[in-house]
Amino acid sequence: MHQKGLIHRDIKSQNILLHSPPGSGRIVVKIADLGLIKVQKQPLQSTKITIAGTFPYMPPEMIMGNEDGQIIADAKIDVWSSGIILHQLVSHSFPFKSTNLQAIMMFMFSKKLERPPQVKDDIMWDLLTKMLAFDRKDRISASDALKHERK
């Protein structure tokens, strides 16, 4: 999806579907609700976008913008959202205290991601910290996240 210049902009747990083809013994993850997809003219470059999506899954660059108040984003906004989902899967909670906008903003301003006690595995924690990097320039790409190993 990202290689084709598409940014979903609303990845959240409600938009993740799991499918197990009969007899395959595997699970296929599918992304639903493509209504907010943004097409980038040049897939490897950032682009100006409007705010769209669901607040608890939005990355800092979408909620706070840059110094000029513009929202410049790329496919890494989907990586942040996926990191929020992964955090929920392993800890049964969001990485912030509440899902109201004020709590989310405080989390983003503090730039402190705390390791949940449920995350014992260092490889998992390393992946979470890379997916939830507050600066999008430091955030791992989706393709690198899929290949992630502790380095």
Indicate which residues carry an active-site annotation. Answer: 10
- Which contiguous run of DSSP H or E holds residue 146? helix 142-146
Q: Which of 43, 18, 20, 21 is nearest to 31 (CA)?
A: 18
- Residues 60 and 79 sit within 8 Å (Cβ to Cβ): no
Sorted by sequence, the CB contacts under 8 Å of residue 99 that are 6+ apart come out as 55, 56
DSSP string, 32-65: ---TT-EE-SSTTS-EE----S-GGG--HHHHT-
> CA-CA distance, 56 to 104, in Å (whole number)?
7
Please state the separation of Cα 145 from the chain's center in Å.
11
